[in-house]
Chain A
Amino acid sequence: MNAELTRIGAIVWKDLTAERRTKANFNAVVFLAGLILLLFGFAIGTEQASMQPIAGGVIWLTVLFSGTLSFNRSYEQELENGALEMLLLYPGDRRSLFVGKLLANLLFVLLVEVVMLPTAALLYNLPIWTFLAPLSVVLLLGTIGFVTLGTFYAAMASRLRAREVMLPLLLFPMLVPLLVGAVQATGGILNGDIMGSTWWWVRFLFVFDVIFFVAALFAFEYVIED
């Protein structure tokens, strides 16, 4: 177990170091997230009354659209110089590779959200500071599920010629329950929870995360082998 933890740590460290040294991906994704937030403003109009009720939906679609760009890259960097084959040759459980990639992607997307959320609050005049604690819980749970499936499907999509279109095509239909739950919970927190359903959706997100983490963990072995 300890050895697996070390392996997971090594993968996370490797991926984050590569990202920290180039920063190319992070900067691009953060700016894209800001751009999407602006575009939503143009699309739905700038009256306060029309913006605030759908802020939860805007935030989560921005996370999904911008975050999806980072998953393929997580594997693409392994495809050069046979890096992936080398990784697979190392002894130990291949699931560690999945968990390591997942954690690196999770940290990446969470960092993007740290920049994106205040921007959204600024543009849409949202009371995020009042509800920071419950919002963080929902963001964390939603992002875990999103990144779990994203990391899993990108393991396949990144090795296809049509990778740009295949990842969203595989990933987004799977994310529908997560999107529904996360948007309902976020909207409930931001707009005052009239229906009392926020807590219900938080638990739903938790169950979703657990089911697909376990399923992806076991299926990953068959996906990554070559």
Chain B
Amino acid sequence: MNNEVISRVVPPPPRWLRPLGWIALLGFVAAQAIGFLISAPDRDMGNLQKIMYVHVPSAWVAMLGFFVVFVLSIAFLVTRREDHDRRAAATAEVSVLFTALTLVLGSIWGRPTWGIWWTWDPRLTSTAIMLLIYVGYLALRAFTEDEDRRARWSAAVGILGFLNVPIVYFSVKWWRTLHQVQTIDAAGAIDSAYALALLLNSIAFLLVFVWLVALRAHVARLERLRESWIEDEALVRTGSEAHV
């Protein structure tokens, strides 16, 4: 490392990032405490039902995340601003994480409840397909080296992928119902204590989500900066003009 590199300014993360992280952590702990201590165990499912407090918010937040990717993708294609692309990528990454979490939690709940890890229920199946669509999105980003190209391509994939989410859901739903297989819709009325725990968990999950996305977007910005420094460095070394 020569002096030139050290003298370069590394931008700090946004000032609100650290407090947000703490608030998210506290919110998460508080929501769990209420879920486990205050709300009573379910009459039929007992404490097993409490997995819903993390499973459902995780699914909601992931879904919201994919919608944000959709909006940011359109915003990028219209404005061509690089930070839209960076944020879309960060949001997609964290949403994929939460989708995977949703599926795992759902399976853990489904095993004792239904007796099986997996069922071809419309919501479950379309969540899995959604996960694969966005894993494709992330893989495309990983394999595309040119930045401008990566941003445009992934925006296109992000838009078409999101359009497909409701279509996948309804196709699986109609496929299953037109064949008259059992449908699992055990929603019913929700007690207010459950509703409170669910609401608090949703807020906590949203905070955690936003914090992770902001952190990831900041890291992406640093990565981008490092790449441009390495390029400059290489130009200096080969003796050509460094473009600054």
Q: Which residues of A line the B interface, CB within 8 A?
A: 149, 152-153, 156, 160-162, 166, 169-170, 172-174, 176-177, 180-181, 184, 195, 197, 200, 204, 208, 211-212, 215-216, 219, 222-223, 225-226
Give chain B residues whose Cβ lies under 8 Å from the Cβ of A208. Answer: 167
Give chain A residues whose Cβ lies under 8 Å from the Cβ of B163. Answer: 211-212, 215
Could you tell me which residues of chain B, from 151 to 182, have a CB within 8 Å of some CB in chain A? Answer: 152-153, 155-157, 159-161, 163-164, 167-168, 170-172, 174-175, 178-179
A170 to B164, CA, bound (A): 12
A149 to B167, CA, bound (A): 14
Q: Does B77 contact A (CB under 8 A)?
A: yes
Number of inter-chain CB pairs below 8 Å: 79
**Contact in complex: A195, B139 (CB < 8 Å):** no
Q: A173-B133, A215-B163 are in contact. Are A166 and B140 (CB under 8 A)?
A: yes
> Shortest CB–CB separation between residue A10 and chain B, in angstroms?
25
Q: Does B226 contact A (CB under 8 A)?
A: no
Give chain A residues whose Cβ lies under 8 Å from the Cβ of B171. Answer: 176-177, 180-181, 204
> Shortest CB–CB separation between residue B180 and chain A, in angstroms?
8
> Shortest CB–CB separation between residue A226 and chain B, in angstroms?
7
Interface 1/0s, chain B 130-155, versus A by CB < 8 A?
00110110011001100001001101
Interface class of chain A by DSSP: helix
A116 to B100, CA, bound (A): 38
Give chain B residues whose Cβ lies under 8 Å from the Cβ of A153. Answer: 157
In-complex Cβ contact of B159 among A177, A204, A215 (8 A)? A215
In-complex Cβ contact of B160 among A162, A169, A174, A200 (8 A)? A174
Give chain B residues whose Cβ lies under 8 Å from the Cβ of A162. Answer: 143
Q: Which residue of B lies closest to A197 (CB)?
A: B178
Interface 1/0s, chain B 52-66, versus A by CB < 8 A?
000000000000000
A216 to B140, CA, bound (A): 17
A51 to B231, CA, bound (A): 59
Q: Does B124 contact A (CB under 8 A)?
A: no
Interface class of chain B by DSSP: helix
> Shortest CB–CB separation between residue B168 and chain A, in angstroms?
5
Could you tell me which residues of chain B, from 59 to 76, have a CB within 8 Å of some CB in chain A? Answer: none
A180 to B149, CA, bound (A): 33
Could you tell me which residues of chain B, from 163 to 208, have a CB within 8 Å of some CB in chain A? Answer: 163-164, 167-168, 170-172, 174-175, 178-179
Give chain A residues whose Cβ lies under 8 Å from the Cβ of B77. Answer: 222
**Number of B interface residues, CB 8 Å?**
30
Q: Which residue of A lies closest to B161 (CB)?
A: A174
A222 to B79, CA, bound (A): 13
Q: Which residue of A lies closest to B176 (CB)?
A: A180
Q: Does B23 contact A (CB under 8 A)?
A: no
Q: Which residue of B lies closest to A207 (CB)?
A: B167
Q: List 8 A-B contacts (CB under 8 A).
A: A153-B157, A156-B140, A173-B136, A177-B170, A181-B171, A184-B178, A197-B178, A223-B153
Q: A166-B139, A174-B161 are in contact. Are A156 and B167 (CB under 8 A)?
A: no
Q: Does B30 contact A (CB under 8 A)?
A: no
Q: Which residue of A lies closest to B166 (CB)?
A: A177
A226 to B153, CA, bound (A): 11
Q: Does B129 contact A (CB under 8 A)?
A: yes
A152 to B153, CA, bound (A): 11
**Contact in complex: A211, B167 (CB < 8 Å):** yes
